[in-house]
Amino acid sequence: MRDLSDQRKNYEWGQLMEAELKSHPMDQFDHWFEEYRPVCSGEANAMMLSTLGEKGATARVVLLKMYDPSGFVFFSNYESRKGEELLNDDRAGLLFFWQELQRQVRVQGRVERISEQESAAYFSSRPRASQLGAWASHQSEVILDREQLESRFEKLQKEFEGKEIQKPKNWGGYRLKPEQMEFWQGRSSRLHDRLEYYRVEDTWKVRRLAP
């Protein structure tokens, strides 16, 4: 067994108090996100998406592409594993881990597809290679080897040469609509700040959770 018990850091970057919170969780998210972007060493919009399947929960990192008061938008193949799981159970979770600021944001809610028009508009803004990639990859499908994938991509390059690439019908966006959002700030002695927004009908309330 590899012993990692000595891998500890003391969290002393900041604090999170009730008086500092915005009234709406998405405003609080936006405030924290804008503080994080300048110090992020990777992709600031990376988030862990967890879904529920027949064999239990699965998680993977996806990229947040849009957010507003109604929720968080990401894109995927509808026939992928995550797409199939969301079709069967629309409950999902998001986790943002912002190590540089010793912060996490945890989101629980339900997921719905965004409109075809919204998905098409975003698809048209993607780099051409990414558009071709959406056609070439039958996401989560078992393939023989890397060569099969690259061969598919090259074939599509020739097929679409000089043409506009339309969005595949099995590809598009999802919006996770939050029902609970927890903002976690690391503190010394492991006495972390955890403030959770939760819905009571159409109103957001806040409660403090023990670390």
In whole angstroms, give the CA distance from residue 27 to residue 5.
Answer: 37
In whole angstroms, give the CA distance from residue 96 to residue 176.
Answer: 14
Pairing of strands 193-200, 171-185: antiparallel
Residue 65 contacts residue 90 (beta carbons within 8 Å): no
In whole angstroms, give the CA distance from residue 84 to residue 138.
Answer: 13
Backbone angles phi, psi at 137, to 5 degrees: -95, 115
Annotated catalytic residue 190:
yes
Report residue 95 CA to chain centroid gap: 7
Backbone angles phi, psi at 26, to 5 degrees: -70, -30
- Find where tokens 């989101």 sit: 107
Q: Which one from 190, 194, 199, 208 is the annotated catalytic residue?
A: 190
- The two counts, helices (H) then strands (E), for the chain are 5, 9
- Residue 63: Cβ within 10 Å count: 12
Q: Which residues are catalytic?
A: 190
